Structure 1
């Protein structure tokens, strides 16, 4: 090898070693330590959605309670149960009014429940939903899984422009998604939202048109974590033999971009 080539090689290596990737600043994290949820952060949404939004808008079968969750070994565990011939119970949590974020790299580590009729989700809604309604407020589905479609993860966005329909979406096949823990994340900037599963990019939404109807993502959003049962997306059939099922969340973290 010529001397000039050797000098060039070592210079390139030195530059590479000298560069440090931009470190993200941790803005907030929930590690689910302790024995009880922090209710200054987390709200419970209870019941079947009636009378305002029966079946939570999707003909879901579950009734949400405060009793279908626990904190154990640094995990949040939401347990979906079949109580009797016609009653299913679960838990739905939000950070509305308590922890809301505009932009950032947002990640959760979770182990999903499985089986026909199960529908766990880690998602976000716009903080102005009480003023403008859904879907004008916007929705970010960082993770959705439905047991009737094994090995598939859904990442979606709902806007007024899409009339709330699942148009801005990606279904990604992940063979081992039902096994162990996986990470589900978004990188949300003023220009785009990019979705990641286990660190791999799976979908990016970057519209040129940034009207409110197309891009409601220039305001704070809050988190929701829940397990639904049946409904328009998770059902309609439900295999009662699968219950109980657990949705286990290790952490939720928010970093700067």
Structure 2
């Protein structure tokens, strides 16, 4: 973890619209360089989501724990396992500890593979407990589902979509399962552009920007997890591929 002498609860603000890449400044960085996850910035979300959101809203069978991860050589390894009849994984967030408005989020990660695997790096509006989802907005920097090999999903959820994934792009990248790749979302007052390894895959820039189409004018916080199965991950889970690991090398925020 790199520190910038901030208080534990952070709100980073900035406008990239008038900036060039050369003027970007690294404002927060998680390099996973310690031996344990730094809970100054990270929360663990545990269990099966019940009673508030059973199945985590998608009929997912996994239970999240504090033990399905480790930091190894400056990388976070999220372990996706089946133990007896129980699927387990890890889900961490920066809710109430780090959020930001506008910027470029960059994450370097290696995907787990196999039917039923669903790793993600994403963001939720910091007001989601007050206004609910999807009114808070959602920015999916990376989603991958093992039932669709070589495909990367970059998506947004807004009130006008009623939670359906209509603002989205599915892109085929033949080598996406091989080694590490860099996933980015560049978020400004006007648009959000998603990239993999420096190539822009999808840009969201609605002509009309209001609460229904553009809840992206407020702070958001980070979420990293790997779900298993469910409505999007797929109910045909291939137990033979388990255990798997979702490995995150770093997450960086520039403004």
Q: TM-score, normalised by structure 2?
A: 0.91
Distance 2:198 2:23 in 1: 16
In the alignment, what sits opposite 1:203?
202
In the alignment, what sits opposite 1:147?
146
Structure 2 unaligned blocks of 5 or more: 1-19
Q: Secondary structure at the match of 1:225?
A: strand
Alignment of 1:238-257 (within 5 A): 238-256=237-255
Distance 1:145 1:210 in 2: 28
Give a deviation string over 1:8-59, Cα, whole Å, max 9, x none.
xxxxxxxxxxxx9633111110000010011010000000001111000000
Alignment of 1:51-130 (within 5 A): 51-84=51-84, 86-130=85-129
Q: Secondary structure at the match of 1:22?
A: helix
* Larger Rg over CA atoms: 1
Distance 2:130 2:34 in 1: 35
Q: Secondary structure at the match of 2:165?
A: coil
Q: 4+ residue stretches of structure 1 with deviation over 2 A?
A: 20-23
Distance 2:55 2:130 in 1: 22
| 2:41 is equivalent to residue 38 of structure 1 | no
Alignment of 1:153-168 (within 5 A): 153-168=152-167
In the alignment, what sits opposite 1:16?
none
Deviation at 1:104, TM superposition (A): 0.4
Distance 2:53 2:104 in 1: 31
Distance 1:43 1:68 in 2: 14
In the alignment, what sits opposite 2:49?
49
In the alignment, what sits opposite 1:217?
216
Distance 2:153 2:21 in 1: 30
Distance 1:189 1:21 in 2: 13
Distance 1:216 1:23 in 2: 26
Distance 1:147 1:249 in 2: 17
In the alignment, what sits opposite 1:180?
179
| 2:60 is equivalent to residue 25 of structure 1 | no
Distance 1:22 1:181 in 2: 24
Distance 2:97 2:198 in 1: 28
Distance 2:209 2:174 in 1: 35
